[in-house]
Structures are given as structure tokens and as C-alpha cells.
Structure 1
Amino acid sequence: MLMPMTTEYPANAARRFSVAPMMDWTTRDYRALARTLTRRALLYTEMVTTGAILYGAPRERFLGYDAVEHPLALQLGGSDAGELAECAAIAEAWGYDEVNLNVGCPSDRVQNNLIGACLMAYPEKVAAAVKAMQAAVSIPVTVKCRIGVDDQDEEEDLERFITTVADAGGEIFTVHARKAWLAGLSPKQNRDVPPLNYARVHRLKLRHPTLHIGLNGGLKTLDACAGELERVDSVMVGREAYQNPWLLADVDRRLYGAANPATTRMDAARAFRSYIARRLDEGAKLNHVTRHTLGLFQGCPGGRQFRRHLSENAHREGAGLSVYDDALGQIKTKRVKTPAAV
């Protein structure tokens, strides 16, 4: 069923397809690029810890975004219910459309602070956090989790986790369909080594028809996303949406029944140019912004030269829009395919 956009809760309307929160990747600059390709998808920030918001540098560094990025969700990392509630209220005041609790990150850096996937072992703590956050805001409070960690039983322990959080008022879950092995595997290995188990997420949805259950993990094509939407309420795509951003170019048509904002990759690249200009005026470095475009012309004639030109020149002192324009000049525009042909 196609979902219309609403103004009351734009995140709820957009959640059918979302781009996963990814550290160092889903920055405000990547999200602005994504908006040249899809107007409808829900975008997420990188995970921001409660400590960074409450006690860190100026909040603009962690919470700043461009208005074009809506609908936009802030992902929080933390476990203290009071601090999470305070940060959720701050997120709402900053204009975010959703606040999401990270219960999936396997990094040992966050485990030590009881953040991320290790919280799968503490469902009561997550439940208390979600309840406190919901009491503090009117925007949706959601949870992104795994199907389990370490030696947990993927059936019984995941069921207990979901039920406990749902009993506290949690209604929206996005489930990364693989375990996180916190002992013995690196964060990178945790993205590939534990096997995906989509069937477990499908069973979870069947068991909890009134909850919103979304699926994350390993999705690489819109065909695969459309297929999963027959079984779950939403899909979330991570690395493929970053490394091959053109994947997003047909999301609005395929999954929302709306017009795509860009007909060609060059359309998107040129639309992004005005955003780059604004960021340069604000003092941003060219390479910090344009690094997110390196995969835009993947597989296109001139794509390799585009990437090389930016990689070799965008970091130079004083690099400006002319470097980006010269990189675009490497692309053979007549042979760039439209989304329908990709």
C-alpha cells in the first residue's frame, strides 16, 4: 500500500523506506545529497550519545542540519532514562521528526558505557528509557535493535526484549536481522559474519501484528526491499545507500508512488552544487562535503575520473566549487542512465 505524506508526523509516513544511521557516513552533507535523490525516504543522523549533547561541544556540531533533510530522525546512544528523555526533548525542540534509541551498535567503545547492542541483554532498562522518552516528547520514539547478542536465543530472548519494551509503550522497532557477537568479533565483522535471519523478523511481525516491525541488514536492491515490504512494515538500507547512492533515485516512484526528484545522476549532482556552495560559505572544507558524492557515478563512463579528480584535489587548501565542476566535467552525460533503466 502506498503511503501518503502527512504534516503531523512526517516520520511515520516516510518510514516505509529509510537510510540507516551510520557513523562517519550519514552526516548532514550526505543527507543533503540523499535529498537530491529522494524526497520521501526517512533519513537518520549518525548515532549521537547523550553525553555529547548534554556535556559536549556546542550542540550545533551534533544536532545541526539543513531544512532540506526532513523528514529526519535523530539516533541517540545511551542507557540512562533521564538523560535520554532530556535529549529527546532537545531533539524535538531542534525540529527533528523522530528520535531513535540505538540498541544495535556492536562497538566495544560504546559497550563500556552501556550503549548499543549490549542493551539487548537489558530489556527492562530499554523499556524504562523508551517510556521516559515518550513522556518527554510528542514525536515518535523508536528502537533499532538486533535479533540478539552473543549466546542469546534468537527466539526466546528477542521475544522477551520486544514484549518488555512494547509493554512499556514502545510501538516501532527496526530490527537488524543478525546477531551481534560482542565477544570475539570486530564491529566490521559484525556487519558480515553473523548470518542474516530475515525469517526471524518475519515471525516477529506475525506474532506482533499491531507493532511496527521494520527490517534492516543486507538489502541492496529496490526489488529486494519491495519483496520484504510484503512481510514487514518498513525496510532500512545502510551501506548500499551510501556506497551506491543512485539506489535512492527510484525510491519515491517504486515505494511511495511519487515522482522522483532526479532524472539523471547529473541532475542530482548539479542540484547538490548549491548546497556545496552554502556549506563552503559556512566554512566547511570541500572534501568533507564532496566525499559523499564519490559513489554517485558508480559504473558510469567517466565515473572513475570523477572520483579521482575529487580525491586528488578536493582536500587542497582553498579548494572550491571549480574543483567539483571540473570533476563533473569528466562524466560522459549522454550515456548516464535514468533510474528506470538502472
Structure 2
Amino acid sequence: MKTSGYAAMDANTPLQPFTFERRQLRPEDVAIDILYCGVCHSDLHQARSAWGPSLYPLVPGHEIVGKVSAVGSGVTQYKVGDSVAVGTIIDSCMECPQCRRNEEQMCYKGVTLTYNGKDRVSGDLTFGGYSNHIVVREEFVLRLPDGLDMARAGPLLCAGITTYSPLRVWNVGPGSRVGVIGLGGLGHMAVKFSSALGAHTTVLTRSEGKRSTAFELGADAVLLSTSPEQMASSAYAFDLIIDTVPHEHDLRPYLDLLDADGTLVIVGSLLDTPAFSNLPLIMGRRRIAGSPSGGIRQTQEMLDFCARKNILPECEMIKIQDIEASFERMERGDVRYRFVIDMASLAADQNA
């Protein structure tokens, strides 16, 4: 299938129009016309080889929303015209203990990434959602519930599930006390989910200017992490803290905020952590944990939850031709809170 998109040809040049062939449908495959694709910080990192050498040409995009255009002979769950979504992974071994537990994102044999990966069958590069079509194995296609705005649903497939998953794994609900560090693309979704699950939710921020926004998103309280007085008065205040900050920072100040048996969960891409004393962990039986994206079953649960609770990310719609400018704005933190590409804008290149 001839497909148009935007690709990074190397780590140093802007994304540019790119034409390529999607594979012919296998029996288990679903073909999707992409209508919208969210812009994730990891799209920029991988386009620039910031997380190690990327595979070029690279078509980013793993927050995909569209309509089924064709199905393989063995597909039973979807039909042409269905509204569907695709997230960060498009295949796994389906046999290991993690896959059998519906935790495909932690497949022991490694997942197939939606982009910057290799197809498990052919070995071909996988190309993502900055394009007008995609072909995905049925088990990794998600049903988009009725009533969920397709134009805003894309970021749920990464920012959404990345913050929803730890809240579910750590059994957050009424009576839980949850802190959220950072109020960007991930953080604003963590606040919405935590609040909707019934937890008392506090935003931990360095900026007093985030206070009104935090309350608008559903927070019950705001804790200014630059205030020694506020931090000291919040000792033992949280059962769970979700850390969404995507760059190196000191975890030590947050450990004293955890109650006994409390957990600090890192979901931001924190590659290096300054050294700190482990005494607060030992004395409080506290934990520092990490959490990746969720499995397919849990991601579907999240989408259904969002439809019931009317939860959507705050988005700014862009044209694909503006992707480089959007990357630059994203690096500056100049977006509230996620960009979404209207893939209909690809037609402008095709008609030029």
C-alpha cells in the first residue's frame, strides 16, 4: 500500500515528506486510515537519536487514531469503518509469561515498536503515525469508544496509559493520597486520572503560576516544591507519588513526603539520578519504582474509562508541515499540553 508521511532521514535534518510502501495484509492484519496522530516527546528524542542510534528513515508517531479501511481474512474483532487506535507497540511474542498476563509492553522477547523498530516477520523497519495509513496486527488494535473525541484521543495512547497504568497497579481509589510531580503532557493526565479515580490529588510544582491550572485539571491541592516550609509540613502525606519530570533531578526531597510503605513511581524518562541516601527508604519501608506504558487490555480499559468519565487530554491541533516548529516549542515547554497532527494536512503536500 503506497503511503505518504513525514520522516527523519538522519539525526540532524528536519522531518520531510516521505513516500513508502506498507505491507500487504496478512490474515491477522487490520489496515487503518490515520486521521490524527499525537506528538510525543519521544518522537523528537528518537528522530534525533537522543536515546541511542535510531533506524532511518524514521517515521515517528505512536498516538494514532483512525478508521479501519480493510481487514485480513482472519480478523474477527474489527470491520471496515470502525473507529480504532494504535499505541506504542504493534507486536510481541504473545507466548512469554508477561504476554500471557496481558502485559505485552514488558514482553520477555522484546516488543515491536510502532516506529523505529523491526517487523517480527519480515524484518522491515516499522513506520509510525506521521502518515496516512498503517497496518497493524489485530491483537494490537484498540477500539475507540463511542463519544470519545477522535481529534483529542491520540495522546491517551502514550501519555494517557503511561500515567493511568501505575495508578491502577498501585490500586489508587477513594482514600488514596496521590502526588503528581510535573504538570506537562504526562502530569496533566496523571492529575485527571487520579482525581477521576477518587484520590486526593496534589500537584507538586516549582512554579506558583501552575496553581490555578492544577485546580482546573482536578487537583485538590498544590505543593510548591521550592518552599522548605511547605515540603516540611507535607512529610508522610502521600501513599503514591507519580514523577513525570523528563530530565535529571534529585529524588531525595520527595522521599520524605511518602508515608510508610509509600511508593515514588518514575514514568518520565529519567536516565540519570543524583546520588542520595537510602535511609528514608529503609526507615519508612518506602519504594522507588518505575512504570512503562500499559498492556493492550489495560489500555482498552483506560479508553473505556475515559469515555465514561469524559476525560481527554488538553490539545493543540497542528498541520504536519508545522512539525519542526512544534518540536521546537515542545522543547521549550510551550504547549498546553500535547500537540495533535490533523493528518488531513498531508494532502497539501500531495497536491503541491
Structure (1/2) with the larger helix percentage? 1
Structure (1/2) with the larger strand percentage? 2
Using structure 2 for the length normalisation, give the TM-score.
0.26
Using structure 1 for the length normalisation, give the TM-score.
0.27
